Amino acid sequence: MLSAMRSSRRQRQGEFPPAPEPLPVPVIDSHTHLDITVAEEGAPGGVDEFVALAATAGVDRLVQVGVDVESSRWGVEVAARHPAIVATVALHPNEAPRLGDLDEALRVIEGLAADERVRGIGETGMDTFRTGDEGRTAQETSFRAHIAIAKRHGKPLVIHDRDAHADVLRVLDEEGAPETVVLHCFSGDADFAAECVRRGYLLSFAGTVTFASAVALRDAARVTPIKQMLVETDAPYLTPMPYRGRPNASYLIPLTVRGLAEATGADLDELCAEISATGDRVFGPW
């Protein structure tokens, strides 16, 4: 899975964008892939470079997200070395159908989940865009197992949902959701957002909220209480406007936060403060 994500580099053109104006109140990047980001062309300084750049932009805490056994192990290791970073561990929903031994991979994830620097289980979930009918059973089995891991360890569940809104809610309802659920890179409309809000889930908005075509997503943001909002990069993907198509990194979060404030009419300082507090409540303390 990780190699497949890295191969999408061809879809992003150019160098990392210049740093935007810093935020007035520091916030969290609730979902980033530093292992992939540091491998991008133009990132010779590695993790240290991106942590420092993020801090100067007002992004002082980062959640490194696992998508397979390799990246989950890497995340635990880097979080142990960097006070600004915590990790999540999981098998991406598109990874599960590809594994020769899903049960063994899940046992590794369960073991990693016990680490103190692991603050969430994800990204897991459902994806009917890239996984066809032949892989759905393994994908759903993996999702259900991750829900159980999150509940056993008392850690937030971080969900990847692509073209699978109804299935995600169905499985969560059937299994019983963990106390804290984060919809990573929220991609639904206002009706789906309202369903998630009603269930008490948190909606994490990425750079997509700034895209001109994302009218439905901005509508969803407007029905989401700011106490149930997080913000993320999903770096190196989903770079906010005006740099869509170029590599993304945590220091670009201010563009997304300002876009979210504009879309919702929220005061920027208040929005930042609420996102920061929610990040600490969900993933902290750092």
Residue-wise pLDDT for 63-76, tens only, equals 999 999 999 999 99
- What pLDDT score was predicted for residue 7? 47
> Do 231 and 253 touch, CB atoms closer than 8 A?
yes
Helix, strand, coil shares, percent, the chain, to 5: 50, 15, 35
Closest CA to 3 of 44, 50, 39: 39
The Cα angle at residue 269 between residues 120 and 284, in degrees rounded to 5: 20
| Matching CATH number, 23-283, of 1.10.3720.10, 1.20.58.220, 3.20.20.140, 3.40.50.9100 | 3.20.20.140
- What pLDDT score was predicted for residue 113? 98
Tokens of 15: 């160098």
- Measured CA to CA, the distance from residue 5 to residue 23 in angstroms comes to 29
- What pLDDT score was predicted for residue 142? 98
Q: What percent of the chain has pLDDT over 90?
A: 87
- What pLDDT score was predicted for residue 12? 65
- What pLDDT score was predicted for residue 143? 98
- What pLDDT score was predicted for residue 44? 72
Per the listing, tokens 């390799």 go with 70
Give how far the C-alpha of residue 118 lies from the chain's centroid of Cα atoms, to the nearest Å: 14
Q: Is 21 exposed, middle or buried (0-12, 13-18, 19+ CB in 10 A)?
A: exposed
Task: Summarize pLDDT for 30-79 with one digit per residue, the tens.
Answer: 999 999 999 876 577 899 999 999 999 999 999 999 999 999 999 999 99
- Measured CA to CA, the distance from residue 205 to residue 160 in angstroms comes to 12
With a cut of 50, list the residues of the chain below it in pLDDT: 1-4, 6-7, 9-10
- Measured CA to CA, the distance from residue 229 to residue 156 in angstroms comes to 14
